[in-house]
């Protein structure tokens, strides 16, 4: 942090003999209070009150932010917290109710949120009752707030004890009755609102600059000037420069601040110290000696740490710290060895090295763990944003310096690799196993995710995925299998089953321009545990990717059911592929259609392949991978710009984290699912009985179970017949019926066409010309149709040709083929209507999204260049005026606060003049008038804001020279 002339002048003025003396001769003070947990025991007696007063006289510790006020507090400055216990406040004003409390609500009979059992509710109620038993309420409607004559609350300095708020008595009663969650939440919120004034007063007291009578060092026996403070060592009390050096002789991460000449406390870096009245850089290093023995004499006797010129940057959750490396000289007699800290000592200190060849950056293990958790819980978070947060945090605490994003990313990756290896070594598992499927893998679900794509960019081509094929199979082996399938199968005939062409069922290379991996196909069990995956390499979702997982992973586990969105299309293709590839067919696994995606399939497909129709499939939905994708899809925001190796590592780590979370909650999840299934069985039995009563007029118990099985078999048999008809070519009988109809129509039209009605058709209207053209189209190739008709008659009627064919047999074939053709036509029209409706909905959503796209909105709001330039100049002028007026307004407020210090009996300024539009944490006028600490804190905040505004004004003037010229020209013209 750079020093300013004003701060140097102040330091020189405040320097004392104690400050200029050698800091190395002064030992750290031991009389200061150490960190301790906030006292949670309520104050019920004068002895305990005296105890608290003696503890408070030692100073405010770092852990107590609201209670404890240092030397300014007293035993009577106490108030009541939201749990009914008394607390010490620095402002001396008790907490009072801001508004009358509404009528107490009764305990609800049916609560949606169950009450939380308070382990100390009974004891708390008894203690509270004992504390309030000596009060004289004087009736239930008495207001227990004690006010002075002027209407202000009684301060701690007045006679008598601090009054308790109105809600204290009700809180005691509610504690005995164990109020529900809503009542407790309301009480906590009301207590916080009522305590805002006390919190604001304490925060202002911390920002206040010590007065002339309090400017000395707070250390016992020290006569120096308190210009520094440390939150960890002194609880925020001011100390001199010499004491500060005694508290911080080595590298540290404490929160220190220095008193600026402008009149506020400014954060101070650990590598800054006041030496002889001047703020200078000092060399700080870690004092822990090496644990490894001396390389020369093999002893571990090291001398004190000595800072060397080499530095290393330490990155923690509070930003960047720049410290020097330490050198340790071997204390063995005659040994010249001098050990300088390096990567081994960094690991011993609890840090992770950023580089190995030359250690210049250390990363806190706590920070790496924190970033790892952030990546897992907030998948869209990027490393660049996290680095920016760390840099801004360091700047707010008085430290400058950039953080290398590349080095941090490398260190995070290596840290996670080591973490995984040690975890795998301890549990001897990969993290991709499901405990519930350990003995028997009931179901396997396969599905694709197109959001985990990656742009085709040459990032870190030298790097390989650390996890190898732990989760994702190698792309080369997958591509070889796809090429073999293409050679064996070729192009298959499209069908109209279940709506024709499905996007997920296209077995073609629908390459996505600019994407190296267009997504991934995962498979997992019915407990949402992901097990294996393959990348979609420069193509869409092909059957070949699922086939690779099927043959190289799934069939080796022998699941009983294979679930997929389009299993009705994949399963016939799979049988054909297995036959052409010469591989055995596993008869154990049965196909099952997912429940939610199955709703888009035709009803015959749902009856044949639906999971709910499969015996032994259970009540699962088959959509477990979709729940997994709801988490994994959010990683697409960061994986799309990664290299291939980093993308594979991120997906693998996220999958391992998801699986571990599912494994941890597996027992509770199975128990919950069992309870839900029992409830669903009862509900299903009731529905079945109701349907039997409505349809059959008998109860469910009167229908034999075998009868239900027969009905189910009949429905599935009809559905299979319809699927077989929709998936195969028309039969010979249907072709015969179509040819007979066409030939008879063509013969009749031929006679009509040769009549004299069409001789002058060219001279007639266009309609007559079209009729003649259509007639010619039907009659064309009539002889070929007649020849094909004879061939079909020969095959259908056992070689009998011509008039010898029985007319009854011929009519019987024509009637059967007509019925079959009508069913096929109706089925085709039904599927076509469903497909058109689905396409229409998608088209409407696409049109709506395009109409609301950012590009169209931006093009509609495009502005001309000249108008934009004038607007920018006006905005620059407005920015300069804003900061100038802000500085003037802050100066006026500081003057008003100074006038209050000089006139103790003067009235406080009006709210519009002093407070303005402040937040609700702003203290009241009476508090500002009577509390010097509050005024000092306000003055320090104003001074700090003025200094920041002045810096921004200077930067703006340097950045906007043209705005200043135009403003001066307008002023001279006026």
Residues 796 and 736 sit within 8 Å (Cβ to Cβ): yes
Identify which of 502, 496, 596 has the alpha carbon closest to the alpha carbon of residue 831. Answer: 496
* Strand duo 338-340 + 319-329: pairing: antiparallel
Q: What is the CB neighbour count within 10 angstroms for residue 559? A: 23
* Strands 238-239 and 228-230, sheet pairing: antiparallel
Q: Which helix (H) or strand (E) holds 604?
A: helix 603-609
What angle, rounded to 10 degrees, do the helices at 732-753 and 807-851 form?
90
Region 767-779: mean pLDDT is 75
Show the tokens assigned to 38.
């906030």
Whether 42 and 130 have beta carbons less than 8 Å apart is answered as no
| 87-96, 391-400, 958-967: least confidently modelled range | 87-96
Sorted by sequence, the CB contacts under 8 Å of residue 282 that are 6+ apart come out as 271, 272, 273, 275
Say yes or no to pLDDT of 320 above 90.
Answer: yes
Bridge pairing between strands 278-281 and 272-275: antiparallel
Lowest mean pLDDT among 487-491, 493-497, 553-557, 868-872: 493-497
pLDDT band at 326 (very low <50, low <70, confident <90, very high): very high
Q: In sequence order, what E strands does 174-248 have? A: 228-230, 238-239
With CA atoms as reference, report the closest residue to 504 among 517, 518, 514: 518
334 by DSSP, 3-state: which? coil
The total number of residues written for the chain in this structure = 974
Helix intervals (H) in 727-781:
732-753, 766-779
Residue-wise burial string across 355-387, b where 16 or more C-beta atoms lie within 10 A, e elsewhere: eeeebebbbbeebbeebbeebbeebebeeeebb
918, 200 Cβ separation under 8 angstroms: no
What pLDDT score does 286 carry? 92
398-402: long-range contacts, CB 8 A cutoff, minimum separation 24: 398/1, 398/256, 398/257, 398/266, 398/267, 398/268, 398/269, 398/272, 399/1, 399/269, 399/270, 399/319, 399/320, 399/321, 399/322, 400/1, 401/313, 401/320, 401/322, 402/320
Which H or E element spans position 784? Answer: helix 782-796
Q: Residue 178: pLDDT band by 50, 70, 90 thresholds?
A: low
pLDDT tier at 113 (50, 70, 90 boundaries)?
Answer: very low
Q: In angstroms, what is the C-alpha Rg of the chain? A: 42
> What is the mean predicted confidence (pLDDT) over 3-8?
40
**Rounded Cα distance, 674 and 698, in Å:** 31
pLDDT for 262-289, tens place per residue? 888 999 999 999 988 889 999 999 988 8
Higher local confidence (pLDDT), 606 or 909? 606
Rounded CA separation 497/500 (Å): 6
Q: Given a cut of 50, is residue 204 above it in pLDDT?
A: yes
Q: Where are the domains of the chain?
A: 198-282, 302-424, 429-490+502-666, 729-796, 927-960
Q: Is the pLDDT of residue 851 over 90?
A: no
Q: 601-619 burial, b for 16+ CB within 10 Å, e for fewer? A: bbebbbbbbbbbbbeebbe
Separation of alpha carbons 297 and 218, rounded Å: 47
Half-sphere exposure of 91 (CA within 13 A, CB side): 30
Mean pLDDT along residues 374-395: 91
Residue 421 CB partners (closer than 8 Å, separation 6+): none
User: pLDDT digits over 714-755, tens only?
Assistant: 888 888 877 776 655 667 777 777 888 888 787 777 776 676
pLDDT of 845 > 80? The answer is no
Q: Is 691 left (phi over 0), alpha (psi -120 to 50) or beta?
A: alpha
Residues 394, 402: Cα–Cα separation, whole Å: 10
Mean pLDDT of the region 789-797: 76
Q: Is 515 helix (H, G, I), strand (E, B) or coil?
A: strand
The 10 Å Cβ neighbour count of residue 848 is 10
Residue 329 sits at the vertex; the CA angle it makes with 326 and 333, to the nearest 5 degrees, is: 170
Mean pLDDT of 128-155: 39
- pLDDT-derived band at 968, boundaries 50, 70, 90: low
Three-state DSSP class for 564?
strand
Reduced to 3 DSSP states, what percent helix, strand and coil does the chain have, rounded to the nearest 5?
50, 10, 35
Highest mean pLDDT among 180-189, 244-253, 758-767: 244-253
pLDDT higher than threshold 90 for residue 448: yes
What residues have CB less than 8 Å from 811, skipping those under 6 apart? none
Look at residue 27 in the predicted model and tell me its pLDDT: 37
Predicted pLDDT at 120? 41
Report how far residue 948's alpha carbon sits from residue 810's, in angstroms, rounded to the nearest whole number: 101
CA 52 remoteness from chain centre? 44
Q: Is residue 526 within 8 Å of residue 559, measured between CB atoms?
A: no
For residue range 10-66, list pLDDT tens digits in order. Answer: 333 333 333 333 333 333 333 333 333 333 333 333 433 444 333 333 333 333 333
Report the chain's mean pLDDT, rounded to a whole number: 74
Confidence of residue 549 (pLDDT cuts 50, 70, 90): very high
pLDDT at site 857: 52
70-105 pLDDT, tens digit each: 333 333 333 333 333 333 333 343 433 334 444 444
What lies within 8 Å, CB to CB, of 968 at 6+ separation is: none
pLDDT in tens, 491-519: 544 454 565 555 555 544 445 678 889 99
Calculated CA dihedral for residues 109, 115, 117, 123, nearest 10 degrees:
-60
pLDDT for residue 488 is more than 70: yes
Show the tokens assigned to 203: 């925060």
Over residues 801-811, mean pLDDT: 67
In the predicted model, is pLDDT for residue 151 greater than 50? no
Question: What does DSSP say about strands 256-259 and 272-275: parallel, antiparallel, or unpaired?
Answer: unpaired
Torsion angle, CA of 763/765/770/772, rounded to 10 degrees? -40
User: What are the φ and ψ backbone dihedral angles of 714, each rounded to 5 degrees?
Assistant: -65, -45
User: To which residue do tokens 């923690």 refer?
Assistant: 316
| pLDDT for res 152 | 44
Q: What are phi and psi of 340, to 5 degrees?
A: -105, 140
* 155: pLDDT strictly greater than 50: no
Indicate the pairing of strand 256-259 with strand 238-239: unpaired
Residue 381 has pLDDT above 80, yes or no: yes
Cβ contacts of 209 within 8 Å, gap of 6 or more: 259, 263, 264, 265, 936, 939, 940
Percent of the chain with pLDDT over 70: 70
């Amino acid at each position: 942090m750079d020093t300013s002339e004003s701060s140097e002048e102040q330091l020189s003025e405040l320097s004392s003999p104690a400050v200029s003396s050698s800091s190395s001769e002064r030992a750290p003070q031991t009389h200061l209070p150490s960190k301790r947990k906030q006292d949670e025991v309520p104050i019920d007696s004068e002895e305990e009150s005296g105890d608290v007063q003696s503890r408070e006289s030692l100073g405010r510790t770092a852990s107590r932010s609201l209670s404890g006020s240092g030397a300014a507090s007293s035993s009577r400055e106490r108030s009541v917290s939201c749990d009914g216990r008394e607390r010490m406040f620095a402002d001396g004003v008790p907490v009072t109710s801001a508004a009358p409390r509404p009528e107490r609500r009764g305990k609800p009979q049916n609560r949606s949120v169950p009450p939380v059992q308070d382990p100390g509710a009974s004891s708390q109620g008894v203690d509270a009752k004992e504390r309030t038993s000596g009060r004289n309420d004087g009736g239930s409607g008495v207001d227990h707030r004690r006010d002075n004559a002027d209407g202000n609350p009684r301060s701690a300095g007045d006679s008598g004890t601090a009054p308790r708020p109105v809600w204290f008595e009700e809180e005691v009663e509610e504690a005995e009755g164990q109020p529900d969650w809503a009542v407790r939440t309301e009480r906590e919120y009301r207590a916080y609102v009522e305590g805002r004034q006390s919190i604001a007063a304490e925060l202002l007291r911390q920002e206040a600059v010590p007065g002339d009578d309090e400017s000395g060092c707070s250390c016992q026996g020290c006569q120096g000037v308190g210009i520094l403070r440390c939150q960890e060592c002194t609880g925020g009390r001011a100390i001199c420069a010499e004491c500060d050096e005694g508290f911080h002789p080595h590298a540290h991460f404490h929160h220190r601040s220095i008193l600026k000449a402008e009149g506020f406390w400014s954060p101070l870096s650990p590598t800054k110290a006041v030496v002889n009245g001047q703020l200078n850089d000092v060399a700080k290093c870690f004092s822990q000696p090496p644990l490894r023995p001396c390389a020369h004499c093999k002893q571990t006797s090291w001398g004190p740490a000595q800072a060397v010129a080499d530095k290393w940057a330490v990155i923690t959750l509070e930003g960047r710290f720049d410290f020097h490396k330490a050198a340790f000289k071997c204390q063995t007699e005659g040994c010249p060895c001098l050990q300088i800290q390096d990567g081994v000592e960094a690991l011993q200190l609890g840090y992770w090295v950023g580089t190995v060849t030359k250690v210049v950056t250390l990363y806190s293990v706590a920070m790496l763990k924190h970033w790892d958790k952030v990546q897992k819980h907030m998948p869209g978070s990027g490393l660049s944003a996290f680095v920016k947060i760390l840099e801004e945090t360091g700047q707010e605490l008085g430290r400058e310096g950039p953080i290398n994003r590349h080095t941090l990313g490398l260190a995070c990756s290596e840290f996670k690799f080591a973490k995984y290896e040690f975890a795998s070594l301890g549990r001897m598992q990969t993290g991709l196993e499901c405990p519930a499927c350990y003995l028997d893998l009931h179901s396997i679900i396969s599905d694709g995710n197109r959001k985990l794509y990656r742009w085709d960019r040459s990032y870190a081509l030298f790097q390989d995925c650390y996890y190898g094929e732990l989760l994702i199979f190698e792309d080369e082996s997958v591509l070889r299998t796809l090429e073999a399938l293409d050679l064996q199968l070729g192009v298959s005939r499209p069908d109209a089953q279940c709506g024709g062409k499905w996007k997920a069922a296209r077995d073609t290379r629908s390459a996505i321009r600019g994407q190296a991996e267009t997504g991934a196909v995962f498979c997992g069990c019915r407990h949402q545990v992901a097990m294996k995956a393959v990348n979609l390499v420069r193509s869409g979702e092909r059957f070949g990717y699922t086939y690779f997982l099927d043959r190289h992973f799934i069939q080796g586990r022998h699941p009983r059911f294979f679930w997929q969105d389009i299993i009705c299309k994949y399963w016939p293709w799979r049988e054909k592929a297995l036959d052409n590839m010469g591989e055995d067919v596993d008869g154990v696994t049965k196909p099952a259609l997912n429940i939610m995606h199955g709703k888009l399939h035709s009803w015959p497909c749902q009856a044949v392949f639906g999971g709910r129709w499969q015996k032994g499939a259970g009540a699962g939905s088959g959509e477990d991978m979709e729940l997994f994708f709801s988490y994994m899809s959010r990683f697409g925001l960061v994986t799309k710009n990664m290299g291939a190796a980093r993308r594979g590592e991120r997906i693998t780590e996220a999958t391992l984290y998801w699986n571990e979370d599912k494994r941890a909650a597996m027992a509770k999840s199975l128990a919950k699912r069992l309870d839900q299934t029992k409830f669903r069985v009862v509900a299903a039995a009731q529905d079945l009985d109701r349907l039997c009563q409505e349809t059959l007029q008998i109860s469910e118990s009167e229908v034999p179970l075998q009868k239900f099985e027969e009905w189910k078999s009949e429905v599935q048999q009809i559905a299979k017949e319809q699927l077989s008809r929709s998936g195969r070519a028309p039969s010979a009988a249907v072709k015969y019926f179509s040819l007979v109809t066409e030939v008879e129509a063509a013969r009749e039209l031929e006679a009509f066409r040769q009549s004299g009605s069409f001789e002058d058709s060219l001279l007639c209207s266009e309609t007559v010309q079209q009729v003649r053209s259509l007639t010619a189209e039907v009659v064309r190739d009539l002889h070929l149709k007649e020849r094909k008709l004879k061939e079909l008659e020969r095959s259908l009627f056992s070689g009998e040709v011509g008039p010898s064919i029985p007319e009854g047999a011929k009519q019987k074939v024509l009637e059967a083929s007509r019925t079959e053709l009508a069913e096929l036509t109706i089925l085709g029209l039904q599927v076509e209507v469903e497909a058109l409706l689905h396409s229409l909905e998608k088209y409407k959503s696409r049109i709506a999204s395009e109409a609301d796209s950012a590009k169209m909105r931006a093009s509609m709001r495009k502005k001309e260049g000249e108008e934009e330039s004038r607007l920018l100049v006006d905005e620059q002028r407005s920015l300069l005026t804003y900061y100038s007026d802000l500085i003037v307004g802050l100066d006026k407020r500081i003057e008003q606060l100074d006038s209050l210090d000089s006139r103790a009996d003067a009235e406080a300024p009006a709210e519009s003049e002093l407070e303005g539009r402040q937040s609700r944490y702003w203290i009241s006028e009476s508090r500002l008038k009577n509390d010097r600490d509050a005024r000092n804190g306000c003055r320090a905040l104003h001074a700090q804001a003025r200094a920041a505004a002045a810096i921004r004004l200077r930067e703006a003037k340097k950045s906007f020279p043209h705005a200043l010229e135009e403003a001066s020209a307008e002023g001279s013209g006026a």
